[in-house]
Amino acid sequence: MQDKIPAIGLGTFRLQGRVVIDSVRAGLELGYRHIDTAQIYGNEADVGTAIAESGIARDELFVTTKVWTANLAGDRLIPSLQESLDKLRLQQVDLALIHWPSPRDEVPVAEYMAALLAAKRAGLARRIGISNFTLRHMGEAIDAVGAAEIATNQVEIHPYLQNRAVARFAREHGLHLTAYMPLAYGKVMKDPVIARIAAKHEATPAQVALAWSLQQGFAVIPSSTKRENLAANLLAARITLSEEEMAAIAALDANDRIANPEGIAPAWD
């Protein structure tokens, strides 16, 4: 049984059908043990198929899913999470996250965090957490269930969006962070600063960008449909960047946010 969130996981955002099945299957064969999905991705059943066909013991896997905004009301959250478990063919997920704060705060943070904690206590999830939460939403979540109950805040973090206010708040309150889109949808592969650092380490730019997040204590959940990239990403944990290299990447911050869905995204810090 995984005692903590694995540092490197496999993201499945935008992957559907055979594509996601093949990606998860290849990832599991290569050694990934953390698979991240969500209700809104529409691929929980396919992820469940890949997991079931892998033959890997359940207690070796760490599976995360995320509750969509339409299911945040107290009477909808637990039934929706049960639907997710049915699709995933699991009795329990290792981590259930609130995917986004309720748009326009129509459902109070305290209501859906209480429902999520009830889901944990009912055995539907081993851990619970949050995603895309601002400073205010993090504070309200802590007030609702306590910081110790929040396993992570999964947020967009990469060299061009470093989310420093959120990271600082998280450190101050003992909250773990998971970085999604850690490669900025491939932008890091074309960056000359990252390329120079990668050449020095005989690594790929993607590995360097992942190492940059890992060295800050973040978990990362990159995705890929290519087996060679999946394998290479796992090796990022072997890279140690110098203080100068970390600073050079830190200087790339441009508040360049990719995930900002209209009508859903909160007012960012």
Range 26-29 contact pairs with CB under 8 angstroms and sequence separation of 24 or more: 26/227, 26/230, 27/230, 28/54, 28/56, 29/54
Measured torsion, CA atoms of residues 26, 32, 37, 43, in degrees rounded to the nearest 10: 20
| Largest separation between any pair of C-alpha atoms in the chain | 54
Q: Which residue's entry shows tokens 């929980």?
A: 44
Q: Which two tokens stand for residue 209?
A: 């960008």
Q: Which residues of 150-184 are buried (b: 16+ CB within 10 A; e: fewer)?
A: bbbbbbbbbbbbbbeebbebbeeeebbbbbbbbbb
User: Could you give the 3-state DSSP secondary structure of residue 253?
Assistant: coil
CA atoms of 119 and 127, how far apart (whole Å)? 10
What one-letter code names the amino acid at 227?
A: R
Is 158 among the annotated ligand-binding positions? no
Burial of 32 (0-12, 13-18, 19+ CB in 10 A): buried
User: Could you give the 3-state DSSP secondary structure of residue 186?
Assistant: helix
Q: How far apart are the first and last CA of the chain?
A: 36
The yes-or-no answer on residue 112 being catalytic is no
CA atoms of 162 and 182, how far apart (whole Å)? 10
Mark the binding-site residues, compressed into ranges: 99
Mark the binding-site residues for substrate, compressed into ranges: 99
Residues annotated as catalytic are 41
